[in-house]
Chains A and B, each alone.
Chain A
Amino acid sequence: MQPISPELVLRAQQGDATAQQHLLAALQDVLRRYFARRIGPRDEVNDLVQNTLLRVHTGLPSLQQPDRLQAFAMKAALFELQDFYRGRYSSREALYDPDVPPERPVAPPAGERLDAERLLGTLSDHARRILELRGYGYRYEEIAEMLGTTEAAVKMQVKRALDKLRDFAAVLVPLGMFLAVLAHTHP
């Protein structure tokens, strides 16, 4: 494919509809290739491409140097990618989204949410980092790649963290109840 010339960018900035069409069509190829590579062949690739094109189209008039389109488009793609990780595309985080809890037959024991917050402070640096990256929105596969380890090892760390939380709850919740009773009987 022919490179995008600064002249084409300039004409697109000046409102030339044909130039805009050519420019966005060319960018679409780059973006499709890019997002498919970063997140894999997922349904969200199309939405990422479209929304990035929209960012480019909207921001094009503010591009000061037409020969800097590549950097301009790259930033737009990176911004959009962060929105993807944030969970703004589809329901990929539905299971863990506090807004969409899994169907459950029982109520969670009192105090467990608080325990989860305390837990983060008690974990090893490695385990904490993994859970933080999950919180950012990365998949286990991506976290493994980022930390130079295997997906199985990452999941094992998370399992251990949950075991720790269970032990944590087993000690702290009864202790909290005991202290509450104590406070009630000995005001």
Chain B
Amino acid sequence: MGDPFDDAFDYDDASPDRQAVCRVMWANNEAMIRELERLRDVEAVSRRRWEALLPNRDALVLLALDEAGRDLDEAERVRLIDARPDLDRLRREIPATDAVVARMTADAADFDLCWGETFDASAPQSEPLRPARADDRTPVPHRRSLRRVAWRASFVFTLALIAVVSVLMLRREATETVLTAQAAKTLRFGDGTLVRLRPGATLAYAKPSQGSTRTVRLTGNAVFEVVHTGVPFTVETPSGRVVVTGTVFGVRATRDETQVTLVEGRVMLAPKDAATGVTLAPGQQSRVVPGALPTTPSDVDIADEMAWSGRFYFHDTPLRVAAERLTSHYRTTVLVDRRLADERVNGEFDDTTPLPEILRILASTLPSAQVDTVEDGFRLR
């Protein structure tokens, strides 16, 4: 290994194993950690500026498309006109905005190329958009023939690939899919049911087929947002079974215990081989261990109990409590005026949602509330 800083630069693209090795190395290298802290701080400052000035990036996409002469529909035009003052300010305050806009224009052009390649077999295969090189401008005969050979080779390869994939798919059809999430991962089943797997969770599910019972097996932590279809959705864990008809709930399943927290809807938690169990109401939690009945459902603070899920669940939560959680998570002060402190708020947010966006949404649900940026964070008043 050369300069240890190279590892820091490449950290986010490194394998989990390599990342773990880096962390161990850096843990004993105070100077290195200090450097990483500086890099992290500088990048975080830059990111916060983007989030503050551009909470919704869609508007910048529309601007890029508009400037590239692309058609926008009427609603998009209105959105762009509304966002124009903010975008003008963004351009003044973050000079790199123009580079981002140029990149988006290239992103759009590349999409058209991919479209052409997919639906028009005669269209030339293209490389990713890069500045043209001098030797690209004048095709030479032997190069064209090489391309033809390459085309044929890729065609044969594609056919072979399709054949292999088809065989694999046919073989898989009779089996179940087992997925272990290395990082937080979201799955959406064909019926619209959403499963948010936390890192390390393993989910096994059969290939969905119409009319089949919806059953998955889980070890680890996950949140389920089950769509009502008339067919029960069942989560089997090493120690229990959760049967639902349409709801949002969190499951933390280990070999020795299954804990279920219900956010909304209705679920039944039963021992693994029992037909009946306890029924939970929203805001309740129950646990089951092998060979025992589930605990009597008890009322819990959903925001607290679902903190592991990577989402904020505010259900009738006092604003001051929500602000405390946001302050703790984003490490930025969120102040609440006394008038609003005990107002109840509702909402569910991914914990990667920009803080200003969450605050703006919460404020919009409160009487005459607004969000101000203050020196070390935000104030709701």
Residue ranges of A at the interface with B (Cβ–Cβ < 8 Å): 1-4, 26, 29-30, 33-34, 37-38, 43, 47, 50, 54, 62, 64, 68, 70-71, 73-75, 77-79, 81-83, 86-88, 90-99, 101-106, 108, 112-113, 116-117, 119-120, 125, 128-129, 131-140, 142, 145-148, 155, 158-159, 161-162, 165-166
Q: Are B99 and A88 in contact (CB under 8 A)?
A: no
Q: Is B50 an interface residue (CB 8 A)?
A: yes
Q: Are B49 and A135 in contact (CB under 8 A)?
A: yes
Residues in B with CB closer than 8 Å to A145 are 130
Partner of B43, one of A38, A90, A92, A135: A135
Distance in Å: Cβ of B251 to nearest Cβ of chain A = 21
Among B34, B41, B76, B354, the most chain A Cβ lie within 10 Å of the Cβ of B41
A-B pairs, top 8 by smallest CB distance, nearest first, are: A135-B46, A132-B96, A82-B57, A116-B41, A135-B47, A34-B114, A74-B111, A3-B119
Residues in A with CB closer than 8 Å to B199 are 91
Q: How far is the CA of A119 from the CA of B121 in the complex (A)?
A: 52
Partner of A34, one of B100, B110, B120: B110
Residues in A with CB closer than 8 Å to B41 are 108, 112-113, 116
Distance in Å: Cβ of B29 to nearest Cβ of chain A = 9
Residue ranges of B at the interface with A (Cβ–Cβ < 8 Å): 5-6, 8-9, 11-13, 19, 23, 26-28, 30, 33-50, 57-58, 60-62, 65, 70-71, 73, 75-76, 94-96, 99-100, 102-104, 107-108, 110-112, 114-115, 117-121, 128, 130-131, 182-186, 188, 199, 329-331, 350-352, 354
Distance in Å: Cβ of B310 to nearest Cβ of chain A = 10
Partner of A132, one of B75, B94, B131, B184: B94
Q: Are A78 and B5 in contact (CB under 8 A)?
A: no
Q: Are A116 and B12 in contact (CB under 8 A)?
A: no
Q: A73-B115, A129-B95, A133-B96 are in contact. List 4 more A-B contacts (CB 8 A).
A: A37-B114, A64-B73, A116-B41, A132-B49
In the complex, which residue of chain B has the Cβ closest to the Cβ of A129? B96
Q: Are A96 and B44 in contact (CB under 8 A)?
A: yes
Partner of B131, one of A43, A136, A148: A148
Residues in A with CB closer than 8 Å to B354 are 86
Residues in A with CB closer than 8 Å to B183 are 90-91
Residues in A with CB closer than 8 Å to B34 are 106, 108
Partner of A112, one of B38, B62, B112: B38
Q: Are A133 and B128 in contact (CB under 8 A)?
A: no
Q: Are B38 and A134 in contact (CB under 8 A)?
A: no
Q: How far is the CA of A105 from the CA of B26 in the complex (A)?
A: 9
In the complex, which residue of chain B has the Cβ closest to the Cβ of A143? B99
In the complex, which residue of chain B has the Cβ closest to the Cβ of A30? B118
Q: How far is the CA of A106 from the CA of B8 in the complex (A)?
A: 18
Q: Are A50 and B188 in contact (CB under 8 A)?
A: yes
Residues in A with CB closer than 8 Å to B108 are 74, 78
Q: How far is the CA of A182 from the CA of B330 in the complex (A)?
A: 34
Q: Are B27 and A105 in contact (CB under 8 A)?
A: yes
Given A119-B42, A146-B102, A165-B42, check contact A102 B12 (CB 8 Å).
no
Q: How far is the CA of A34 from the CA of B111 in the complex (A)?
A: 6
Distance in Å: Cβ of B277 to nearest Cβ of chain A = 33
Q: How far is the CA of A43 from the CA of B15 in the complex (A)?
A: 12
Residues in A with CB closer than 8 Å to B186 are 47
Residues in B with CB closer than 8 Å to A97 are 40, 44
Q: Are A162 and B40 in contact (CB under 8 A)?
A: no
Q: Are A38 and B38 in contact (CB under 8 A)?
A: no
Among A71, A73, A94, the most chain B Cβ lie within 10 Å of the Cβ of A71
Q: Are B9 and A136 in contact (CB under 8 A)?
A: no
Q: Are A99 and B38 in contact (CB under 8 A)?
A: no
Q: Are A38 and B128 in contact (CB under 8 A)?
A: yes
Q: Are B184 and A90 in contact (CB under 8 A)?
A: yes
Q: Are A99 and B329 in contact (CB under 8 A)?
A: yes
Residues in A with CB closer than 8 Å to B128 are 37-38
Given A68-B71, A82-B57, check contact A88 B352 (CB 8 Å).
yes
Q: How far is the CA of A120 from the CA of B94 in the complex (A)?
A: 11
Residues in B with CB closer than 8 Å to A166 are 38
Distance in Å: Cβ of A54 to nearest Cβ of chain B = 7
Q: How far is the CA of A56 from the CA of B70 in the complex (A)?
A: 19
Q: How far is the CA of A166 from the CA of B5 in the complex (A)?
A: 15
Distance in Å: Cβ of A142 to nearest Cβ of chain B = 8
Q: Are B110 and A101 in contact (CB under 8 A)?
A: no
